[in-house]
Amino acid sequence: MKQMLSDQLKQLQGSPTAKFFRLAKEREASGHDIIHLEIGQPDFQPLAPIVDATIEAIKQGKTTYAISSGIPELREKIASAYSEDYGENLNPNEEIIITSGAKQSILASIYALLDRGEKILLPEPYWVSYPDMTRLAGGNFLPVPMLDDFSLNQEYIQKCIKKSNIKAMLINSPNNPTGHIISPQELSFIKDLIEDTNLMIIADEIYNDYMYIPSSYKTLLTELKDWRENVIVVNGFSKTYSMTGFRLGYSIANKTLSQGILRFVQASTSCATTFCQYGAITALEHRFDAQEVIDNVFPVRRQLLLDEVSKIDGLSLGSVDGAFYGFIKYTYSDKPSEYIAEEILNNANVATIPGAAFGESAEGYFRVAFSRSEEEIREAFKRIGDYINK
């Protein structure tokens, strides 16, 4: 029988998050009460004005194609928000592209930067989709092994750049899965890298409204003003506004790179969903209300997670500086993290994600999302603690 699946797609590993979500749903369907800590999705609904604006856009017939770069009103609103909040002057017609989720912005950015065979650095632990995105674009990725404090492994990065022709590095801050926020010292290191090697940076900032420690910045645009030509910033509406199903993201880059990202959008989805873009305009108008919801809820859940993990022998959790994940180290077993995650699911009915999904050096950990209610977090770790103690 003739081969049906292309070698290109055979390279893709698939999403470990999707795998464990499927396993959890299958167990749930068989009658088990599952607590879902595997999916990174806020548990609150979008603010009512966002929903109302989206519905109103549908009623007004804004259901046709939009121009591929995104409706002008939304690009102008993003530029206005960055000017008001960060003092950054963006050209909405040349530097901002609206995409179908931040995920598409990242994929398009990799396509825009890498020729086939060119290399990008992925510091571990990295979001599970980054390697497959690189494979899909025909690029090669070099994982950077994780340090215990989750900061950039600067010595290893320097060695990679000396030994190999590296085109770019993908930074996720606050980080999924650790919550690590790039420090001033790490920023200085990144600036030196760009200055010395002309390295390109893709900055995934989808969690930048979830910060629990004092930070001098929320976007690398303010920190890398002198190297703006080397930076693509990616953000979106899924996490801050709980608009995950709206599938809306955006990229900010120089004119040349933005044109490349635009071509990717035109060749793949044509445009982001039109009526959702009108809802996103309203979201930005209510961004301080959305931030208030986050600030009232998530620091409490973060502290609860730290407290609950500390009660269980064999588990430990360092600082959680941002995002809404706990990257938990386990020492009660020497089994691989995928085995541990399956055992926790099958014996404690709690869905988690194995550390190895985020890179080989992240073995020995598992990730939980504290984007669930306080009651669910308490019950989840009671179950996990009971299982481990047995």
pLDDT tens profile 231-251:
999 999 999 999 999 999 999
pLDDT digits (tens, 9 = 90+) for 353-381: 999 999 999 999 999 999 999 999 999 99
Query: What pLDDT sits at residue 45?
Result: 95
Cis peptide before 214 (omega within 30 of 0): no
Number of residues that this document lists for the chain: 390
Q: Write out residues in the chain with pLDDT < 70, as ranges.
A: 1-2
**Which of 319, 17, 326 is closest to 181 using CA atoms?**
319
Its pTM stands at 0.95
The burial class, CB within 10 Å (0-12 / 13-18 / 19+), for 9 is exposed
So what's the pLDDT on residue 1? 55
Beta bridge partners of 202: 170, 232
Tokens matching residue 132: 């497959």
What the chain holds in terms of domains, given with CATH numbers, is 7-45+289-389 (3.90.1150.10), 48-286 (3.40.640.10)
CA 122, 128, 129, 134: dihedral to nearest 10 degrees? 30
pLDDT of residue 319: 87
For residue 218 the two structure tokens come to 């929320």
Element (H, E) at 275: helix 274-285
C-alpha distances in Å from residue 5, one per residue of 10, 61, 133, 140: 7, 40, 18, 21
pLDDT of 10: 86
Measured CA to CA, the distance from residue 237 to residue 47 in angstroms comes to 12
